[in-house]
A and B are shown apart, each in its own frame.
Chain A
Amino acid sequence: MTYGIIQIVLFLSVVLLLVKPLGWYMTRVYENKPCGLDRILGPVERAIYRLCGVNPANEMGWKRYTVAMLAFNAAGFIVLYALMRLQGFLPLNPQHFPAVPSDMAFNTAVSFITNTNWQAYGGETTMSYLTQMLGLAVQNFVSAASGMAVLVALIRGFVRRNSQTIGNFWVDLTRSLLYILIPLSLIIAILLASQGVVQTFKAYPTATLVEPITMADGNSVTEQTIAVGPTASQIAIKHLGTNGGGFFNANSAHPLENPTPLSNFLEMLAIILIPGALCYTFGKMAGDTKQGWAILASMVIIFICLLALCCWSEQKGTPQLISAGADLQASSTQSGGNMEGKEVRFGIFNSALFATTTTGTSCGAVNSMHDSYTPLGGMVPMWLIQLGEVIFGGVGSGLYGMLAFAILTVFIAGLMVGRTPEYLGKKIESYEMKMASLVILLPIFLALVGTAVAVATKAGQAGAFNPGPHGFSEILYGYSSATNNNGSAFGGLSCNTPFYNYTLAIAMLGGRYLFKILMLAIAGSLAAKKYVPASAGTLSTSDSMFVILLISVVIVVGALSFIPALALGPIVEHLMMIGR
């Protein structure tokens, strides 16, 4: 227990320590100032622009920026879909996997371009090495980079005055990849490999079992095929880009994907690092780092509160476990609590911390099965997703989502101090309100309506493994996860059916691109506005009062929109479990 808390404190301290240096570095990158790596990578960057015929000085208005972003993602979809359908004819396929079925390929392609990484497939039994590396891993990089690009464009919207342009998408994309994602991935991949994460192009080896197993039909199994592959390189970006799509089906619970407590620590750190540091970048670019710290503080506070609930609920276990005679007491030899669906090498706290981190951000990698959590413990990851993936959130997308909440907050709070609202010196008027309202509305709409369609149709009902409220939770989690581009599954939902593959893909597309378009529209509108200087009558957006308000707005919107649904899922499940 104490060790668990020390782990969490250590983890958060390391994150907060790294926020400033990395945030500063990213500011240099996006402001196109010397950042150190430009001496080495500058020529590469210029070569890329020449090769692609991009003029980096060519600024774009928000509409052109949006079109460029969408076109780029559409192209990514086509390449990825083609790779999966054609993998049988392509090289680097030692296991000779056939073409991926069309509905699954559609779902997977959408899933990876939207930075969701919802996986209706098992990687080691479906995807060739080529598909994994050239298709999935590439999208892991570029989907993250396009999220960061949109964020940077939004920040420019706040910073620029009377400007018609918000930057150049190709430049933002290239710089995100070249200076941030690729170097960091390299470091993390090497560190992970040092911990035993596998990295090979060889076919799957077989091992002789020490203890042969006799199956139900009487056959004896003496050999095990061990899935391997170029894993470490892909896992690094899976976490850094808050993608979450595991190389193996078991994701970060797999011993070759996440072998040691240190690799676990590194993987969690990699998830949260960039989203956290981008807050600092935001403040720095906006000319007032306090603005960034205020946003980060709001995220950290919500994160800690929900993490505490999750840890508490998992450590406490269930009355059923107690009555079955399980020892739930934490000791030096066992972590106690509800260990169902958790890896013994991670225990309660590192599983709960991983679950909170991966769902607070839109990563979706898992090192334990959320389905097997206690009702309240499992509600934490689900609700974190439903809050709109803004507690750190996806790389780029988390912060621009949080800024939409901040716009909403200043609107209400601004009125209460008797001024028409403004944020960072920009007036928030009906256009911004229209877009920000849609941003808040959209994920709620997609998640709830998606779930409603699933529970009301035979095809949808067939997916849930468990009866009662738990089955409902499984479906609700699925649509929440897809809409908010998290990609983790509660588990217990057999989602590889045309129904789920297509409906979830729609949720992912809507949740990602409509959201992005709306945010870019806000960016364009803000950039064109003049600057309103702050005075004593201006609402401060960097003090503790604002932090409290922002937290309240995020929580209240999340609670008001999802409490009825949660009441029919985890809440009633919990009440039934404790015998009420």
Chain B
Amino acid sequence: MSSIAKGKKMFDWAIVRPAILDSFCKLSPRRQFRNPVMFVVLVGSILTSLLFVQALLGKGEAGPWFILGISFWLWFTVLFANFAEAMAEGHGRAQADSLRKARKDLVAKKLSNPRRDSSLEMVLASLLKKGDVVLVEAGDYIPIDGEVIEGVASVDESAVTGESAPVIRESGGDRSAVTGGTRVISDWLVIRVTAESGNTFLDRMIAMVEGAKRQKTPNEIALTILLAALTIVFLVVCATLLPFSYYSVLQAHQDQSRVVTITVLVALLVCLAPTTIGALLSAIGIAGMSRLSQANVVAMSGRAVEAAGDVDVLLLDKTGTITLGNRQATEFIAADGVSMEDLADAAQLASLADETPEGRSIVVLAKQQYNLRGRDIEKLGAKFIPFSAQTRMSGVDLDNRHIRKGAVDAIEQFVKSRGGVIPDKVRLASQNVAKNGGTPLVVADGAKALGVIHLKDIVKGGIKERFGDLRRMGIKTVMITGDNPMTAAAIAAEAGVDDFLAEATPEAKLELIRRYQAHGHLVAMTGDGTNDAPALAQADVAVAMNTGTQAAKEAGNMVDLDSNPTKLLDIVQIGKQTLMTRGALTTFSIANDVAKYFAIIPAAFALTYPSLNTLNVMALATPNSAILSAVIFNAIIIVFLIPLALKGVKYRPMPATQLLRKNLLIYGVGGLIVPFIGIKLIDMLLVVLHLV
């Protein structure tokens, strides 16, 4: 899905064409009314159209072609705003379409009893009710969201996640949730339906990326209020200009025909009203959701995206987020009287048949450091002793040797049972390893402890720098781990997180979130297990892993389809970007007004007071060309800024003050200057084309 969406260019014809059509459909006043700024423009368009008709009949307040020109561009202003929204929706819809392909109307094998061997009945998936039980066999599509209650199967979830490698789904535990529209590749599953048609995960995802069910977010509402207030201010300013002009004409003893026309006042109003941000506001919101889904994250509400920008505490699971999922052997520490080679050799023998990543890393280390090649355990005639929860050791029995590796206390028991002891040096070395954030494995051959293998958590490359960025943005990172405090502290220091929670239980996690929130912080976290659900529900931004349980997904307000916990950092960035884009375009929109005053005020009143022509600093050709240029600029700038609204303003992590200075320079000062140039250019073009 992501590749399809990312592959679409900003102005792909397949998106642009329906967007153009949609721009006209969106003209309905009821839809426009939701956006007060654009509603005013719509009313202005209608008003000037009527004035044009009046002028055609010979009773106009100004030349019909001038009124038509203004009216024409006012309509375009509305259409451009609609187009921006339609474009944003179009990009979302492209993603939704690929999702929708997965939502064919499937036929389900409904079981009469929640057992595989009970009688079958074929029903349409759309008719399934919550609590029904269905059987899905190899090759079948899973008809609807559910929970596996029996069986293990590999499932192809690429339709939803874009990830082609199949995943295992099984009853119980954290991998029991299945999504409708995905396909079972091997084996079979008995599934209890958890969502009804129309309300499945896929349905909600489609609705969210399409923006169909989009509610205005709180900040969007607040901004809309501000924009509406500004529009009313300008409405008052423009409306009162009519009596002001009437009075001025009266005082100058001039003919009443010199009173400023309604057309000019409407043009002034539309130019002054924050139409740029008003037109792009909803596009920015939709695009924010859309960027999130491009990152393969599905937000269940726009509110969550906004909250992501505000998050100032991130709770990050150590494993998978901060460290690579697996520990690796980095060092051998031999006991007194034992050569390094012997230790490495024993360690390697003990690990040859150990297929865990840790085991493999020991073999690799032995090979790298002591040039010990991997041997075939079968040929040696050795017997592999796998890890078990009781012994908490693994190893090999070879001839008379009993080589074992495991945690200190486990090996101590093993050695003691054979009459040996753990030497102090080995004990000290394992303590040192633990203190430095590693996991010590002791290797023993029979009664003799040979030494220690240092298994290390490998902190992901570049993660320290990212945490540094976050700190500069004012975001605190907290590492959550099941490790003991000593190990946790060492890893926390190495990774550069601000704080850690060691020996974390789900309760401790929930408690920590509550504590931060009580101090006014906004907390984000990721989680996948059912035991994460309470904490996810408590957190302000809760990203559930798609591989996680249904409970986790229900509790979170976002789902990461890639199940990559590091994604949280991207989510924060997208949240901030969305807010920044709104702020930047609001500033730009307001700053634009200065130039528009210089264009329109002299043009509107120079008839009464020729002295006001001094304010025509852009030297615009005629009053009509000046007003028309301002209106055209006001309309066209919307189109020019659509890419910015859809992509969001650039964001690099930096402190607020720097960020503000940078954005103010670009969008504030830029917003002051750009319209002077733009309006002048349009005016020159109008003159060249003999349009005025």
**How far, in angstroms, from A455 to B250 measured CA to CA in the complex?**
10
Which residues in window 386-423 of A have CB below 8 A to B?
Answer: 408, 411-420
**How far, in angstroms, from A448 to B240 measured CA to CA in the complex?**
6
| Partner-binding segment picked from A11-19, A109-117, A121-129, A565-573 | A565-573
| The residue from B520, B580, B667 contacting A531, defined by CB atoms under 8 A apart | B520
Which residues in window 275-293 of B have CB below 8 A to A?
Answer: none
**How far, in angstroms, from A533 to B605 measured CA to CA in the complex?**
51
B residues near A538, Cβ cutoff 8 Å: 474, 656
Judged by a CB distance under 8 angstroms, whether A327 is at the interface is no
- Taking a contact as CB atoms under 8 Å apart, the answer to whether A469 and B244 are in contact is no
Given known contacts A540-B657, A561-B237, A452 and B229 CB-to-CB distance under 8 angstroms? no
**How far, in angstroms, from A543 to B661 measured CA to CA in the complex?**
12
- Taking a contact as CB atoms under 8 Å apart, the answer to whether A543 and B657 are in contact is yes
A residues near B577, Cβ cutoff 8 Å: 418
Judged by a CB distance under 8 angstroms, whether B100 is at the interface is no
B residues near A181, Cβ cutoff 8 Å: none
Q: Give a binary string over B201-231; 1 marks a CB under 8 Å from any A CB, 0 the rest.
A: 0000000000000000011011101101110
**How far, in angstroms, from A412 to B663 measured CA to CA in the complex?**
11
**How far, in angstroms, from A572 to B236 measured CA to CA in the complex?**
21
Judged by a CB distance under 8 angstroms, whether A429 is at the interface is yes
Judged by a CB distance under 8 angstroms, whether B471 is at the interface is yes
Judged by a CB distance under 8 angstroms, whether B659 is at the interface is yes
Given known contacts A411-B222, A429-B222, A568-B244, A418 and B580 CB-to-CB distance under 8 angstroms? yes
- Taking a contact as CB atoms under 8 Å apart, the answer to whether B660 and A413 are in contact is yes
- Taking a contact as CB atoms under 8 Å apart, the answer to whether B615 and A567 are in contact is yes
B residues near A472, Cβ cutoff 8 Å: 244, 247-248, 251
Given known contacts A411-B226, A420-B310, A567-B605, A430 and B218 CB-to-CB distance under 8 angstroms? yes
Judged by a CB distance under 8 angstroms, whether A445 is at the interface is yes
- Taking a contact as CB atoms under 8 Å apart, the answer to whether A420 and B656 are in contact is no
**How far, in angstroms, from A467 to B590 measured CA to CA in the complex?**
35
Judged by a CB distance under 8 angstroms, whether B151 is at the interface is no
| Partner-binding segment picked from B88-96, B581-589, B633-641 | B581-589
- Taking a contact as CB atoms under 8 Å apart, the answer to whether A561 and B233 are in contact is yes
Given known contacts A452-B240, A456-B247, A575 and B614 CB-to-CB distance under 8 angstroms? yes
**How far, in angstroms, from A563 to B604 measured CA to CA in the complex?**
13
| The residue from B226, B312, B590 contacting A537, defined by CB atoms under 8 A apart | B312
Q: Residue of B at shortest CB range from A467?
A: B251
B residues near A428, Cβ cutoff 8 Å: 222
Judged by a CB distance under 8 angstroms, whether B576 is at the interface is yes
A residues near B225, Cβ cutoff 8 Å: 430, 433-434, 437
A residues near B660, Cβ cutoff 8 Å: 413, 416-417, 539, 545, 549
B residues near A228, Cβ cutoff 8 Å: none
Which of A433, A539, A576 gathers the greatest number of chain B CB atoms within 10 Å? A433
- Taking a contact as CB atoms under 8 Å apart, the answer to whether B232 and A441 are in contact is yes
B residues near A545, Cβ cutoff 8 Å: 657, 660-661, 664
| The residue from B218, B306, B667 contacting A416, defined by CB atoms under 8 A apart | B667
- Taking a contact as CB atoms under 8 Å apart, the answer to whether B667 and A563 are in contact is no
Q: Residue of B at shortest CB range from A435?
A: B225
Q: B671 → chain A, closest Cβ, in Å?
A: 11
Q: B135 → chain A, closest Cβ, in Å?
A: 48
**How far, in angstroms, from A451 to B248 measured CA to CA in the complex?**
13
Given known contacts A545-B661, A564-B601, A535 and B247 CB-to-CB distance under 8 angstroms? no
A residues near B218, Cβ cutoff 8 Å: 420, 429-430
Q: B310 → chain A, closest Cβ, in Å?
A: 5
Q: A146 → chain B, closest Cβ, in Å?
A: 26
Q: Residue of A at shortest CB range from B606?
A: A572
- Taking a contact as CB atoms under 8 Å apart, the answer to whether A433 and B222 are in contact is yes
**How far, in angstroms, from A408 to B593 measured CA to CA in the complex?**
18
A residues near B471, Cβ cutoff 8 Å: 536
Judged by a CB distance under 8 angstroms, whether A9 is at the interface is no
- Taking a contact as CB atoms under 8 Å apart, the answer to whether A419 and B579 are in contact is yes
Judged by a CB distance under 8 angstroms, whether B388 is at the interface is no
Q: Give a binary string over A536-580; 1 marks a CB under 8 Å from any B CB, 0 the rest.
A: 111110010100010010001101110111011001100110001
B residues near A571, Cβ cutoff 8 Å: 612, 615
- Taking a contact as CB atoms under 8 Å apart, the answer to whether B586 and A415 are in contact is yes
Judged by a CB distance under 8 angstroms, whether A101 is at the interface is no
**How far, in angstroms, from A453 to B243 measured CA to CA in the complex?**
8
Judged by a CB distance under 8 angstroms, whether B687 is at the interface is no
Q: B569 → chain A, closest Cβ, in Å?
A: 14
- Taking a contact as CB atoms under 8 Å apart, the answer to whether B655 and A537 are in contact is yes
Given known contacts A441-B229, A564-B241, A565-B240, A420 and B611 CB-to-CB distance under 8 angstroms? no
Judged by a CB distance under 8 angstroms, whether B8 is at the interface is no
Judged by a CB distance under 8 angstroms, whether A37 is at the interface is no
Q: Give a binary string over A496-516; 1 marks a CB under 8 Å from any B CB, 0 the rest.
A: 000000000000000000000
- Taking a contact as CB atoms under 8 Å apart, the answer to whether A408 and B248 are in contact is no
Judged by a CB distance under 8 angstroms, whether A444 is at the interface is yes
- Taking a contact as CB atoms under 8 Å apart, the answer to whether B659 and A567 are in contact is no
Which residues in window 600-614 of B have CB below 8 A to A?
Answer: 601, 605, 609, 611-614
Judged by a CB distance under 8 angstroms, whether A521 is at the interface is no
| The residue from A418, A425, A434, A437 contacting B309, defined by CB atoms under 8 A apart | A418
Q: Give a binary string over B226-267; 1 marks a CB under 8 Å from any A CB, 0 the rest.
A: 101110111011111111111110111000000000000000
A residues near B222, Cβ cutoff 8 Å: 411, 428-430, 432-433
- Taking a contact as CB atoms under 8 Å apart, the answer to whether A416 and B473 are in contact is no
- Taking a contact as CB atoms under 8 Å apart, the answer to whether B309 and A440 are in contact is no
| The residue from A412, A418, A448, A467 contacting B236, defined by CB atoms under 8 A apart | A448
Q: Given contacts A418-B577, A535-B475, list 19 more A-B pairs with CB under 8 A.
A: A412-B587, A416-B660, A417-B656, A417-B659, A420-B310, A433-B225, A441-B233, A444-B233, A452-B240, A453-B243, A533-B519, A539-B660, A545-B660, A560-B234, A565-B241, A568-B605, A572-B612, A576-B611, A580-B611
Ordered by A's residue number, 23 sampled pairs between the chains whose C-beta atoms are within 8 Å are A411-B226, A412-B586, A413-B664, A415-B582, A415-B584, A417-B659, A417-B663, A418-B579, A418-B580, A429-B222, A430-B218, A433-B222, A452-B242, A472-B251, A535-B474, A537-B312, A537-B474, A539-B660, A545-B657, A552-B668, A556-B590, A561-B234, A564-B238
The residues of B with any CB-CB pair to A shorter than 8 Å are 218-219, 221-223, 225-226, 228-230, 232-234, 236-248, 250-252, 268, 272, 306, 309-310, 312, 471-476, 519-521, 575-577, 579-580, 582-584, 586-587, 590-591, 593-594, 597, 601, 605, 609, 611-615, 651, 655-657, 659-661, 663-664, 667-668
Closest A-B pairs by Cβ, 7 of them = A537-B474, A415-B583, A418-B576, A535-B474, A437-B229, A536-B474, A416-B583
